[in-house]
């Protein structure tokens, strides 16, 4: 597997400008001849589809939801970062770049991350032009707030529904191109395989979720914007349908999978309460702006939190990290919460929770201000827990939220399969080993609005359009393989439901490949996942038939892929014998319990190559070279 | 706690469909309504029956995918809540619940509780956007928008496109959905430029779909999980009339007498 990141030459600040100035262009007449498939209609997929259609390409857009407006980007609450420096607090492209690369524990690619920071301001301009109703000051100017891992206020937001508003902006731009006849929309389709012809990505096989029919689509390039894979943990903040199948099928067709072990466990979620639970709900990190995190100083203290006097409250983040306090990056906040609960300081019925308290902010600013800032979050909390958080502090605990790893891409966002591009959370590129808050929306939209429309031309200029159709043998072969797999799932007729397998996989992953990992546990996990996978193919029960809406069959295909991906995550975590960002190996920590990197041996991207059903995957590396920053031990003290 | 459920079962769009009764017990009052249906479905699969098909995704009230009539009320009737956000503690132990799909001519049933809401997408495609290509935008602070205006626009923009408004309306009208989008855009200076064109085109599309007309029942406002006000409909009607007002400048600068 050849890993050339194709990073343009020149100084960091000039790379993207130079690239755009010299990239190959296609004439409008030639753009019209090219067809591009885009899978996924989240921020990255919808923005890419709209922008490429505006440029004149023919776009075929696919999503599993009933409408392109529903992808899980919609659930992002807190905000989107941009280097406008409207607050005059010293922000700059360099600072956002540096915060992001440091936040990622120096495991991201310098050039990609810089470009992300550089494009961030354009995103805000574009979204405002589309009518996104961002929060404003009385003067009519845009407002900002702070987010974890930063000392400046650079986050733009629309109440607690920033992701929704940005996604609806992209969806409206996409809808406009549907009306213009430039986008052919295929909702309720589930991508089942990637079709590679002569070494190039040339199409996909999808299952029509209404009829069960398999359908083949050919194009000159394929873009995956299919999101992340934290549903491998069963319980996560992702949507029920979020899945890794598109990315995983591409991996099996030869695309390298990078850094699968970098998982983000988000610190501020509503704690788990019972076995029936189907998902975990996030409370926006923005609450940490005004909330203070604490546990009782006494272990196993079951007193009502309001009766615990100030002197007996342990504001552990503020004490341990005086510079950043409650605003430390997510991985640090999560690990500390886990540590407190492991030590017996946890609160709530299960002992797996810490307090997030807005009492002092309510006193300082008045309840009205807090209602205005976070009202919808308080309502959501009350609906789920039955508790009024204006009167008693919220209880929170970390939950799987985002996968920094994903399909490997170069600077042009192309995977190791020529013609296969990967955007947004589905790729691995910009966040290193830990993503900062309000950066996922930024990356999805940077990839879709501004990067791919430029970089794809470089590839398409060298492709003869339309010379591959679905008549090619490779399409038939892929479709047969998909059909065989579906038949195989239906034929098991076992005794255990798909959800039971998913829950069991989730437990292995959470216990052994979760917030902290060690060699013995990871080896165990690999063995257990292999056994569970074997049992799945022997004993899963999928009712109904294939030629109809069959939600159990949809889930079964996804869980079968998670059962393979879970093993790869554990393998990657085992091979990365260091701690970095969200990947914490108990064997490697500082005296203060922080993640301890090993730059000498692991300053690289790990990229896994599929070598066949019965052989082990091969680990390749892309060394990370830092021209402008010097990796240091991260400090938020 | 335990519940008795009368659930609409329908194999396919052509199937006549009918209610089936199920009893579920050992439920936890902190469960969400959809988690209760998960429990039922697991039991049905284990018994060798087909589970109840229903749509859902984010399970936090924002994607707009879920929705069903519970005892005749869209999303179950809890104020400001989608079906996925509805906790079981909202119901009495031992309650009897009738669960149906959205009932509207414009939303044909596909299977059990799943309906086809693609008419909403077609209304948006008819004009629910600001026609700006990527790359055109000036600096975000170059257009000032008063805070009150931005907040009001956001009130309307919060629509999740779930279809509860249509399901709750005795006429099956899509006015709240459509007007929320129109009001959001027409409040903003960016959206004003093509406001006339937008409202005409979206209304025209709505009329081509199988939605009914608005006769001011205001059931939509009560059912809306985002509590969007019917003032949106008034704004839309205002825009619609304005778009046809004599003296308007139309294409080519020609004045209509």
What CATH number does the domain containing B161 carry? 1.10.1060.10
B161/B222 same-domain check? yes
pLDDT value at A139 more than 70:
yes
pLDDT the model gives residue B257: 41
Among candidates A124, A136, A172 on the partner chain, residue whose Cβ is nearest the Cβ of B145: A136
B155/B169 same-domain check? yes
B76/B125 same-domain check? no
CB < 8 Å to A395, chain B: none
Q: B144 to chain A: nearest residue by CA?
A: A140
Helix (H) or strand (E) holding A497: strand A496-497
Contact call for A499 and B118, based on CB within 8 A: no
> Helix-strand-coil percent breakdown of chain A, rounded to 5?
40, 15, 40
Residues A142-173 as b or e (16 or more Cβ within 10 Å = b):
bbbbbbbbbebbbbbbbbbbbbbbbbbbbbbb
Q: Provide the CATH number for the domain around residue B52.
A: 3.10.20.30
B158/B251 same-domain check? yes
User: Is residue A628 a part of any domain in this protein?
Assistant: no
* d(CA B257, nearest CA chain A) in Å: 31
Contact call for B144 and A141, based on CB within 8 A: yes
The residue from A351, A374, A400 where one domain ends is: A400
| Interface residue B45 vs chain A (CB under 8 A) | yes
pLDDT the model gives residue B245: 84
Residue B246, Cβ neighbours under 10 Å: how many?
Answer: 7
User: Is residue A63 a part of any domain in this protein?
Assistant: no
- Mean pLDDT within A103-130: 98
pLDDT the model gives residue A271: 94
- Mean pLDDT within A401-427: 98
Looking at the structure of chain A, the number of domains it has is 2
A537-580 per-position pLDDT tens digit:
999 999 999 999 999 999 999 999 999 999 999 999 999 999 99
DSSP code string of B168-192: H-TT-B-HHHHHHHHHHHHHSHHHH
Please state, in angstroms and rounded to a whole number, the distance separating the CA atoms of residues B70 and B85: 13
pLDDT the model gives residue B256: 47
A276/A374 same-domain check? yes
- Bridge partners of A80, per DSSP, are A156
Nearest residue to A218 (alpha-carbon basis) of A240, A231, A201, A242: A201
User: Using CB atoms and an 8 Å cut-off, which of residues 517-546 of chain A contact chain B?
Assistant: 541, 543-544
Q: Provide the CATH number for the domain around residue A337.
A: 3.90.700.10
- Mean pLDDT within A198-202: 97
Give the residues of chain B that fall short of pLDDT 50: 255-257
| Interface residue A241 vs chain B (CB under 8 A) | yes
A634 pLDDT tier (thresholds 50, 70, 90) = confident
Among candidates B31, B151, B191 on the partner chain, residue whose Cβ is nearest the Cβ of A131: B191
User: Is residue A223 a part of any domain in this protein?
Assistant: no
CB < 8 Å to A57, chain B: none
User: Is residue A575 a part of any domain in this protein?
Assistant: yes
Q: At what angle do helices A162-179 and B118-125 cross, to 10 degrees?
A: 70
Contact call for A543 and B85, based on CB within 8 A: no
pLDDT the model gives residue A434: 96
A274 pLDDT tier (thresholds 50, 70, 90) = confident
Structural domain containing residue A520? 474-598
- The number of helix segments (H) and strand segments (E) in chain A equals 18, 21
CB < 8 Å to A165, chain B: 154, 157
For chain A, give the mean pLDDT.
96
pLDDT the model gives residue B251: 55
Q: Provide the CATH number for the domain around residue A514.
A: 1.20.58.100
pLDDT the model gives residue A48: 98
* d(CA A54, nearest CA chain B) in Å: 7
Locus of tokens 């490779």 = A474
CB < 8 Å to A500, chain B: 42
B144/B66 same-domain check? no
* d(CA B26, nearest CA chain A) in Å: 11
User: Is residue A276 a part of any domain in this protein?
Assistant: yes
CB < 8 Å to A384, chain B: 30, 32, 85, 87
B124/B237 same-domain check? yes
| Interface residue A463 vs chain B (CB under 8 A) | no
pLDDT value at A435 more than 80:
yes
Among candidates A84, A135, A274 on the partner chain, residue whose Cβ is nearest the Cβ of B28: A274
B92/B60 same-domain check? yes
B77/B170 same-domain check? no
User: Is residue A270 a part of any domain in this protein?
Assistant: yes
Do residues A163 and B157 touch, judged by C-beta distance below 8 A? no
pLDDT value at A235 more than 70:
yes
A15-29, A375-389, A599-613: the lowest-pLDDT one: A375-389
Do residues A433 and A111 touch, judged by C-beta distance below 8 A? no
Among candidates A68, A75, A141 on the partner chain, residue whose Cβ is nearest the Cβ of B62: A75
User: Is residue A58 a part of any domain in this protein?
Assistant: no
The residue from A374, A400, A426 where one domain ends is: A400
Among candidates A126, A241, A497 on the partner chain, residue whose Cβ is nearest the Cβ of B46: A497
B152/B71 same-domain check? no
Half-sphere exposure of B191 (CA within 13 A, CB side): 27
Q: A68 to chain B: nearest residue by CA?
A: B121
- Mean pLDDT within A171-193: 98
Looking at the structure of chain B, the number of domains it has is 2
How is residue A165 written in tokens? 């508003």
B11/B91 same-domain check? yes
pLDDT the model gives residue A160: 86
Do residues A403 and A230 touch, judged by C-beta distance below 8 A? yes
A390/A483 same-domain check? no
Among candidates A66, A385, A541 on the partner chain, residue whose Cβ is nearest the Cβ of B117: A66
A270/A394 same-domain check? yes
Contact call for A138 and B134, based on CB within 8 A: no
| Interface residue A75 vs chain B (CB under 8 A) | yes
User: Using CB atoms and an 8 Å cut-off, which of residues 104-133 of chain A contact chain B?
Assistant: 122, 124-131, 133
B123/B250 same-domain check? yes
| Interface residue B130 vs chain A (CB under 8 A) | yes
User: Is residue A179 a part of any domain in this protein?
Assistant: no
CB < 8 Å to A47, chain B: 134
pLDDT value at A41 more than 80:
yes
Please state, in angstroms and rounded to a whole number, the distance separating the CA atoms of residues A146 and A153: 4
Locus of tokens 């014998």 = A577
A302/A395 same-domain check? yes
Contact call for B140 and A124, based on CB within 8 A: yes
Structural domain containing residue B77? 3-111
A479/A394 same-domain check? no
Contact call for B132 and A130, based on CB within 8 A: yes
Q: Give the residue numbers of A annotated as catalytic, written as ranges.
A: 330
User: Using CB atoms and an 8 Å cut-off, which of residues 32-61 of chain A contact chain B?
Assistant: 47, 50-51, 54
- Residues with Cβ within 8 Å of A74's Cβ and at least 6 positions away in sequence, in order, are A42, A163, A164, A167, A168, B58, B62, B63
CB < 8 Å to A175, chain B: 121, 124-125, 128-129
Contact call for B45 and A552, based on CB within 8 A: yes
Locus of tokens 């409250």 = A313
A145-167 per-position pLDDT tens digit:
988 788 999 999 998 899 999 99
Please state, in angstroms and rounded to a whole number, the distance separating the CA atoms of residues B164 and A294: 41
Give A329: exposed, middle or buried? Use CB within 10 Å, 0-12, 13-18, 19+: buried
Among candidates A86, A136, A273 on the partner chain, residue whose Cβ is nearest the Cβ of B147: A136
| Interface residue B143 vs chain A (CB under 8 A) | yes
- Mean pLDDT within A419-448: 96
| Interface residue A366 vs chain B (CB under 8 A) | no
B37/B83 same-domain check? yes
Among candidates A185, A279, A551 on the partner chain, residue whose Cβ is nearest the Cβ of B53: A551
A496-524 per-position pLDDT tens digit:
999 999 999 999 999 999 999 999 999 99
User: Using CB atoms and an 8 Å cut-off, which of residues 269-308 of chain A contact chain B?
Assistant: 273-274, 276-279, 281-282
Q: B44 to chain A: nearest residue by CA?
A: A543
Please state, in angstroms and rounded to a whole number, the distance separating the CA atoms of residues A635 and A321: 9
Please state, in angstroms and rounded to a whole number, the distance separating the CA atoms of residues B4 and B7: 10
* d(CA A164, nearest CA chain B) in Å: 7
């Amino acid at each position: 597997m050849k890993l050339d990141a194709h990073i343009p030459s020149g100084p960091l600040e000039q790379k993207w400008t130079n690239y755009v100035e010299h990239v190959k262009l296609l004439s409008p007449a030639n753009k019209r001849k090219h067809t591009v498939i885009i899978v996924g209609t989240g921020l990255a997929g919808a923005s890419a589809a709209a922008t490429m259609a505006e440029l004149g390409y023919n776009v075929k857009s696919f999503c599993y939801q009933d409408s392109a407006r529903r992808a899980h980007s919609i659930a992002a609450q807190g905000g989107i970062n941009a280097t406008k420096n409207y607050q005059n607090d010293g922000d700059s492209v360099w600072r956002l770049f540096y915060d992001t690369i440091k936040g990622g524990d120096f495991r991201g690619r310098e050039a990609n991350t810089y470009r992300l920071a550089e494009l961030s301001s354009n995103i805000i301009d574009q979204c405002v032009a589309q009518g996104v109703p961002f929060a404003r000051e009385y003067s009519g100017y845009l407002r900002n707030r702070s987010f974890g891992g930063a000392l400046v206020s650079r986050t733009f937001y629309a109440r607690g529904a920033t992701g929704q508003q940005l996604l609806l902006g992209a969806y409206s731009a996409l809808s406009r191109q549907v009306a213009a006849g430039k986008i052919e929309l295929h909702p309720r389709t589930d991508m089942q395989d990637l079709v590679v012809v002569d070494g190039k990505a040339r199409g996909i096989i999808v299952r029509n979720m209404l009829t069960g029919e398999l359908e083949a689509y050919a194009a000159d390039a394929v873009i995956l914007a299919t999101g992340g894979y934290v549903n491998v943990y069963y319980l996560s903040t992702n949507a029920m349908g979020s899945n890794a199948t598109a990315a995983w099928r591409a991996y099996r067709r030869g695309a390298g999978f990078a850094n699968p072990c970098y998982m983000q466990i988000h610190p501020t979620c509503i704690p788990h309460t019972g076995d029936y639970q189907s998902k975990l709900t996030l409370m926006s990190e923005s609450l940490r702006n005004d909330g203070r995190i604490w546990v009782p100083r006494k272990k196993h203290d079951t007193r009502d939190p309001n009766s615990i006097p100030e002197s007996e409250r342990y504001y552990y983040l503020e004490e341990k990290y005086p510079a950043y306090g409650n605003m430390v990056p997510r991985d640090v906040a999560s690990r500390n919460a886990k540590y407190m609960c492991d030590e017996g300081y946890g609160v709530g019925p299960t002992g797996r929770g810490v307090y997030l308290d807005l009492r002092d902010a309510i006193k300082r600013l008045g309840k009205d201000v807090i209602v205005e800032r976070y009202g919808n979050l308080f309502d959501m909390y009350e609906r789920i827990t039955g508790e009024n958080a204006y009167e008693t502090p919220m209880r929170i605990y970390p939950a799987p939220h985002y996968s920094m790893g994903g399909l490997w891409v170069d600077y042009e966002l192309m995977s190791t399969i020529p013609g296969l591009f990967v955007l947004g959370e589905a790729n691995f590129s910009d966040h290193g080993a830990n993503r900062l808050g309000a950066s996922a929306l930024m990356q999805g939209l940077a990839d879709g609005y501004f990067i791919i429309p430029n970089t794809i031309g470089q590839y398409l200029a060298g492709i003869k359009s339309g010379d591959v159709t679905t008549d090619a043998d490779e399409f038939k072969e892929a479709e047969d393989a998909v059909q065989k797999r579906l038949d195989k799932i239906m034929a098991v007729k076992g005794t255990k439901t798909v959800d039971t397998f998913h829950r069991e996989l989730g437990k292995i992953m959470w216990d052994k490949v979760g917030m902290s990992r060690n060699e013995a546990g990871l080896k165990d996990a690999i063995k257990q996942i292999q056994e569970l996978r074997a049992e799945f193919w022997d004993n899963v029960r999928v009712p109904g038939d294939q030629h109809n809406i069959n939600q159990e069959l949809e889930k079964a295909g996804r869980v079968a892929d998670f059962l393979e991906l879970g093993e790869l995550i554990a393998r990657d975590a085992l091979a990365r014998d260091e701690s970095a960002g969200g990947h914490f190996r108990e064997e490697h920590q500082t005296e203060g319990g922080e993640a301890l990197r090993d730059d000498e041996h692991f300053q690289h991207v790990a990229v896994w190559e599929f070598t066949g059903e019965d052989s082990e995957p091969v680990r390749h590396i892309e060394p990370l070279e830092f021209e402008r920053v010097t990796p240091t031990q991260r400090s938020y003290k | 706690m335990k519940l008795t459920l009368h659930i609409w079962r329908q194999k396919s769009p052509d199937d006549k469909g009918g209610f089936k009764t199920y009893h579920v017990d050992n439920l936890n009052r902190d469960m969400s309504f959809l988690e209760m249906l998960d429990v039922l479905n697991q039991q049905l699969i284990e018994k060798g029956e087909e589970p109840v098909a229903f749509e859902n995704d984010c399970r936090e009230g924002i994607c707009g995918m879920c929705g069903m009539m519970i005892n005749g009320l869209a999303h179950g009737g809890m104020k400001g809540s989608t079906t996925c956000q509805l906790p079981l503690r909202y119901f009495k132990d031992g309650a009897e619940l009738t669960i149906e799909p959205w009932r509207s001519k414009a939303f044909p049933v596909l299977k059990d509780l799943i309906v086809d809401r693609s008419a909403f997408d077609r209304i948006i495609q008819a004009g629910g956007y600001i026609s700006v290509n990527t790359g055109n935008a000036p600096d975000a602070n170059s257009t000032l928008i008063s805070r009150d205006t931005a907040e009001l626009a956001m009130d309307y923009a919060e629509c999740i496109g779930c279809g509860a408004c249509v399901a709750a309306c005795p006429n099956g009208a899509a006015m709240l959905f459509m007007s929320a989008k129109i009001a959001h855009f027409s409040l903003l200076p960016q959206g004003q430029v093509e406001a006339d064109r937008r409202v005409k085109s979206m209304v025209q599309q709505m009329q081509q779909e199988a939605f009914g007309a608005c006769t001011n029942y205001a059931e939509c406002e009560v059912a809306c999980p985002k509590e969007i006000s019917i003032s949106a409909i008034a704004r839309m009607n205002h825009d619609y009339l304005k778009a046809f007002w004599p003296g308007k400048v139309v294409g080519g600068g020609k004045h209509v007498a």
